[in-house]
């Protein structure tokens, strides 16, 4: 399976969305950590507008819609962060948004999306169920449907994060990225590897929602029978041909972490780095702390902290 995403596409997206998104910080650890690579840096995309990388793809999609499409409104579905980013972008561009979320989404996520004026509809037990219903809604109503990962404009947006990271740290040689539908890692990996093929890119998925790992092993998209993880934004039942194709080309390895490891990593990020993140945002730290990855001490690794929309009390109580 071969998919293309050119550097020129990503560069154009970067110019397009620049007025609407932040260049997020890249920071070193505040103090030496014995179990962490000594030169580890954290790319704090949890400090992006709406609290996650999703704003990049949201704006890149909406800014390329016609005036008529914007006037009619848009529809999407999400485990939470994409929906929030679409709601925010729609508010900024003065268009109406309808966001489908699964029944399992937290009240906190629903409230964040609704706060930007979007209509929120709960449907199904998984983000994949909500996506199917949102797509059907868009087709029936003649509305533009914005997919959170199965869309080249979304991946152009996530690719801008790869370009930004190369600007910040030209000598990067390891990158750890969480995987949900694969839109983040595939866009970033394509942007980075086409310029610096030596960079080792490592994906991280929850054990209970390892849809990309299953697809890579099978050589084709696999729909999981069930998903079980607290990282709800990393929990679609399947990735897509687009993100799988780019992952096969540009991602070197996929590591699995469990819920307990992600919660411990959340606690570590809060205690050591003063960063409150959601489970998805801590997955890469969980992979490092688990010992599943060996990174040379002289390497220049980056852990992408992808999202900060955490209702912390509801998560921490599981492993008190």
How confident is the model over 219-238, as a mean pLDDT?
91
Asked whether the predicted pLDDT for residue 32 surpasses 80, the reply is: no
CA distance 77 to 235: 13
Is pTM beyond 0.85? Reply is: yes
H-run or E-run covering 205: strand 200-206
Rama region for 177: left / alpha / beta (φ>0; ψ in -120 to 50; rest): beta
Name which of 82-91, 183-192, 226-235, 294-303 the model is least confident about.
226-235
Asked whether the predicted pLDDT for residue 311 surpasses 70, the reply is: no
User: What is the distance of C-alpha 216 from the center of its chain?
Assistant: 18
- Of 62, 108, 53, 58, nearest to 83 (Cα)? 58
Residue 286, CB half-sphere, CA atoms under 13 Å: how many? 28
Q: Which structural domains are found in the chain, ordered by start?
A: 7-52+152-319 (3.40.50.1100), 55-146 (3.40.50.1100)
**Residues 242-294 pLDDT 10s:** 999 999 999 999 999 999 999 999 999 999 999 999 899 999 999 999 998 98
Predicted local distance difference test score (pLDDT) of residue 314: 53
How confident is the model over 189-197, as a mean pLDDT?
97
CA distance 93 to 87: 10
Predicted local distance difference test score (pLDDT) of residue 1: 56
> What is the token pair recorded at 149?
């990962």
CA distance 186 to 226: 24
pLDDT band at 49 (very low <50, low <70, confident <90, very high): very high
Predicted local distance difference test score (pLDDT) of residue 312: 53
CB atoms within 10 A of CB 225: 6
H-run or E-run covering 77: strand 74-77
């Amino acid at each position: 399976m071969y998919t293309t995403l050119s550097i020129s596409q990503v560069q154009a997206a970067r110019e397009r969305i620049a007025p609407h998104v932040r260049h997020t910080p890249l920071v070193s650890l505040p103090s030496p950590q014995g179990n962490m690579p000594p030169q580890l840096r954290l790319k704090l995309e949890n400090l992006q507008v709406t609290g996650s990388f999703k704003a990049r793809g949201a704006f890149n999609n909406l800014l390329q819609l016609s005036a008529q499409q914007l006037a009619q409104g848009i529809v999407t579905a999400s485990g939470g962060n994409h929906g929030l980013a679409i709601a925010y972008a729609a508010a900024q561009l003065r268009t109406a948004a309808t966001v489908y979320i699964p029944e399992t989404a937290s009240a906190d996520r629903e409230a964040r999306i609704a706060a930007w004026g979007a209509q929120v509809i709960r449907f199904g037990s998984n983000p994949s169920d909500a996506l199917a219903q949102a797509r059907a809604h868009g087709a029936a109503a003649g509305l533009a449907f914005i997919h959170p990962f199965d869309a080249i404009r979304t991946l152009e947006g996530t690719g801008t994060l790869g370009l930004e990271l190369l600007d910040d740290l030209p000598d990067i040689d390891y990158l750890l990225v969480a995987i949900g539908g694969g839109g983040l890692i595939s866009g970033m990996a394509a942007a980075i590897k086409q310029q610096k093929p030596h960079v080792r890119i490592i994906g991280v998925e929850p054990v209970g929602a390892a849809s990309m790992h299953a697809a890579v092993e099978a050589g084709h998209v696999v729909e999981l029978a069930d998903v079980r993880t607290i990282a709800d934004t990393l929990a679609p039942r399947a990735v897509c041909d687009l993100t799988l194709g780019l992952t096969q080309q540009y991602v070197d390895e996929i590591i699995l972490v469990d819920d307990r490891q992600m919660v411990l990593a959340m606690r570590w990020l809060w205690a050591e780095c003063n960063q409150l993140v959601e489970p998805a945002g801590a997955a890469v730290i969980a992979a490092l702390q688990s010992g599943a990855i060996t990174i040379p001490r002289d390497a220049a690794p980056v852990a992408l902290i992808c999202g900060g929309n955490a209702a912390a009390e509801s998560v921490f109580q599981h492993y008190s």
